[in-house]
Amino acid sequence: MKVIVAENAGFCFGVKRAVKIALDASKRGKVYTLGALIHNPPMVQQMRKKGVIAVNDFEGLDNERVIIPSHGISPLVLKKIKPKIIIDATCPFVKNAREEAVKLSKGCDQLIIVGDKKHPEIRGILPFLKSNVIVVKDASEVPNKSFGYCGIIAQTTMSETIFQEVALKVSNRSKSLKIVNTICDATRKRQSSTLKLLKNVDVMIVIGGHNSANTCRLLELCLRNKKLAFQIEDETELKKKWFKNCKKVGITAGASTPPWMIKRIREKILSLD
């Protein structure tokens, strides 16, 4: 059995940067992140051992050092942690999407964000905007009405296909439309590498946190293209039956999947042959 890893898979620029910031800070003692620093439970667990602790709120952590995760946090939450020492690991692409959203929301009648309204990145953007905003997860959620001057942006980890589908639907209903594609380069590359690889293999293994938006998009991409695919966080989730009569296995991985996990899973698949 041959196992091929996608050309672009695993850690992206923003995640590498956040991990480095957190590990450097942890050399001077414990640091705390609100929720996971990155959406990869095995990596979060490993970092905990090094003193990077994920918490659900900052209650009782006065005067501790607090890290803003790569996907950012809401300014309303940020206000509450003002007296503490804040280390900002927000990815520059997330900040850019936020700035574009603010500009568009000021200049148009209706701003549409293509993303998940519950995701921390979107929750971090919304408080900066005027009230003329709707968040849609795909084209089916675009309201059935006409728009005046409309703007569209995307969550940085959104699927290119879904973003295009929403833009097309809105363009047919708006007087004027400004599209700012804020999907980050890392997401785009992981999606195109996955698409390229899935055409040449029998089954795809998608590695990454079940809470990772960009990893879930990679699984969706495989399934939309009618490829047998499974998403796992670590090697214990692999099942031998997935590889029955299989000659080529493809591996892709979300932007918060560490390289050591990709290696470990690749070796485990080979050992099942």
Residues catalogued as catalytic: 121
Phi and psi at residue 2, to the nearest 5°: -100, 135
Position among 156, 174, 191, 194 found at the interface with ligand SF4 (CB under 6 A): 156
The count of residues interacting with ligand SF4 (CB under 6 A) is 15
Distance between CA 273 and CA 268 in Å, rounded? 9
d(CA 105, CA 122): 14
Q: Which of 54, 255, 261, 265 binds ligand SF4 (CB under 6 A)?
A: 255
Confirm or reject binding of residue 212 to ligand SF4 (CB under 6 A).
no
Residue nearest to ligand SF4 (CB): 14
- The answer to whether the beta carbons of residues 149 and 105 sit under 8 Å apart is no
Binding segment for ligand SF4 (CB under 6 A), chosen from 10-18, 27-35, 39-47, 54-62, is 10-18
Give the one residue of 5, 6, 10, 14 binding ligand SF4; rule: CB under 6 A. Answer: 14
Q: Which of 40, 68, 93, 217 binds ligand SF4 (CB under 6 A)?
A: 93
Please give the helix or strand (H or E) that residue 251 lies within, else none: strand 248-253
State yes or no: residue 214 binds ligand SF4 (CB under 6 A). Answer: yes
Query: Contacting ligand SF4 (CB under 6 A), which of 8, 70, 194, 215?
Result: 70
Note whether 12 binds ligand SF4 by CB under 6 A: yes
157 binds ligand SF4 (CB under 6 A): yes
3-state DSSP of 183-245: CCHHHHHHHHHHHHHHCCCCEEEEECCCCCHHHHHHHHHHHHCCCCEEEECCHHHCCHHHHCC
Kindly tell me which of 101 and 201 has the beta carbon lying closer to ligand SF4.
101
Shortest separation between residue 94's beta carbon and ligand SF4, angstroms: 5
Q: Which residue ranges make up the site for ligand SF4 (CB under 6 A)?
A: 12-15, 70, 91, 93-94, 156-157, 184, 186-187, 214, 255
